[in-house]
Amino acid sequence: MGKLQKDKRDIYYRKAKELGYRARSAFKLLQIDEKLNILQDVTRAVDLCAAPGGWTQVLVDRMNDDEVTRGLNSSLTPTSSSSRVIAVDLMGIAPLKGAQMIQGDITRQSTTDEIIQSLDGHKADIVVCDGAPDVIGIHDVDEFIQNELLLSALNLACNLLKPGGHFVAKIFRGKNVGIMFAHLKQFFNDVVCAKPKACRNSSIESFVTCRDFKTIQPNISAHILSSQLKPCCVPFIACGSGLDSDQSYPLNMQVIDEKDRKASSHNLISTTTSINSTNSQITPLSSLSNTQLQASGSQNKSTLKNIIKISTNTELSTYASLDPLAAPIKPPFQKALDLKRTNKLPT
Q: Active-site residues: which are they?
A: 170
| 3-state SS record for the chain | CCHHHHHHHCHHHHHHHHHCCCCCCHHHHHHHHHHHCCCCCCCCEEEECCCCCHHHHHHHHHCCCCCCCCCCCCCCCCCCCCCCEEEEECCECCCCCCEEEEECCCCCHHHHHHHHHHCCCCCEEEEEECCCCCCCCCHHHHHHHHHHHHHHHHHHHHHHEEEEEEEEEEEECCCCHHHHHHHHHCCEEEEEEEEECCCCCCCCEEEEEEEEECCCCCCCCCCHHHCCCCCCCCCEEEECCCCCCCCCCCCCEEECCCCCCCCCHHHCCCCCEEECCCCEEECCHHHCCCCEEEECCCCCCCCCCEEEEECCHHHHCCCCCCCCCCCCECCCCHHHHHHHHCCCCCC
